[in-house]
Amino acid sequence: MANKLTKQDITNLFIRSNAVQSAFSFERQQAMGFEYAMIPIINKLYDKEEDRIAAYQRHLTYFNSHPWTCGVIFGIVAAMEEKKANGEDVSEANIQGIKTGLMGPLAGIGDSFFWGAFRPIVAGICASLALQGYGFAPLLFVLIINAVHFGLHYWEVNKGYKMADSFLEKADMSSLNVWMEAATILGLFVVGGLTATWLGVSTKLSYTIGESTTSIQSALDGILPKMLPLLSVLGVFALLRKGFSTQKVLLIIVVVGFILGFLGVI
């Protein structure tokens, strides 16, 4: 069937998708931003009000990925919605499965490469230039970051829309559970790396035997490096599994951290 979406529609999708984090919430993360980007696409593809409402509700479910690398998801989902509107065999579960299966791996790539490597490197170079007296250094940082961000995101949205046909032909839609499991495994690797790299939890406690003083932190590092950050993450995970809300967990972290810091434990 003929495509209903034009080049201008995809460009508009790119523009609106840059607001993916504009209405961030703890419950659904970037869902409102995703919905905002998809509204013109949905309105153009579906003539019946009930079909539009179903599509609106479909994209209000949980979504969370990296804002620099999630453009391909917008493109693929737009193509899938177009196929569904044309009467092809694309179910709501297929669309949700693609979003769920891709958002984790793409977030891992974005966090590790762009947040963990690219942006700090550019910031370091520009900071060095600024220290040498080059007044254009801050502007250079802004220009480089935004050129890469918007250029990459534009390419992703268009590429995702164009490659959706071949992607869906090669992908076995019945194997989406495998995608989701792979995304979960990759997500665990990413969380583990972020825990060891960015979570700075250590203890100031020490003990003395005779004239020798030993730091408990050194002893813990000898057993398992980054043990306390790992235990902290596992503790938060256990609270969430028991049904604690995100707000309660954050409050517990603040209270426990304040008390342990006041006592000189951490």
What pLDDT score was predicted for residue 104?
81
Query: What average pLDDT does this structure show over 150-166?
Result: 88
Alpha helices (H) along the chain: 7-17, 31-45, 49-58, 71-85, 92-109, 119-131, 137-170, 176-198, 216-223, 227-241, 246-262
What pLDDT score was predicted for residue 173?
47
In terms of Cα–Cα distance, which of 164, 163, 157, 160 is closest to 11? 157
User: Which helix (DSSP H) or strand (DSSP E) does residue 205 occupy?
Assistant: none
pLDDT at 59 over 60: yes
Question: Where does residue 215 rank: exposed (0-12), middle (13-18), buried (19+ CB within 10 A)?
Answer: middle
**Furthest C-alpha separation in the chain:** 84
* 232 band by pLDDT with thresholds 50, 70 and 90: confident
C-alpha span between 104 and 70 (Å, rounded): 10
The average confidence (pLDDT) of the chain is 84
pLDDT at 172 over 70: no
In terms of Cα–Cα distance, which of 22, 52, 53, 54 is closest to 37? 22
- What confidence tens digit (pLDDT) does each residue in 179-191 have? 556 656 666 676 6
DSSP annotation string for 121-185:
HHHHHHHHHHHTT-TTHHHHHHHHHHHHHHHHHHHHHHHHHHHHHHHHHHS-GGGHHHHHHHHHH
Query: What average pLDDT does this structure show over 71-93?
Result: 88
- Sequence letter at residue 87: G
* 2 band by pLDDT with thresholds 50, 70 and 90: low
Judge contact between 21 and 42, C-beta under 8 A: no
What pLDDT score was predicted for residue 118?
83
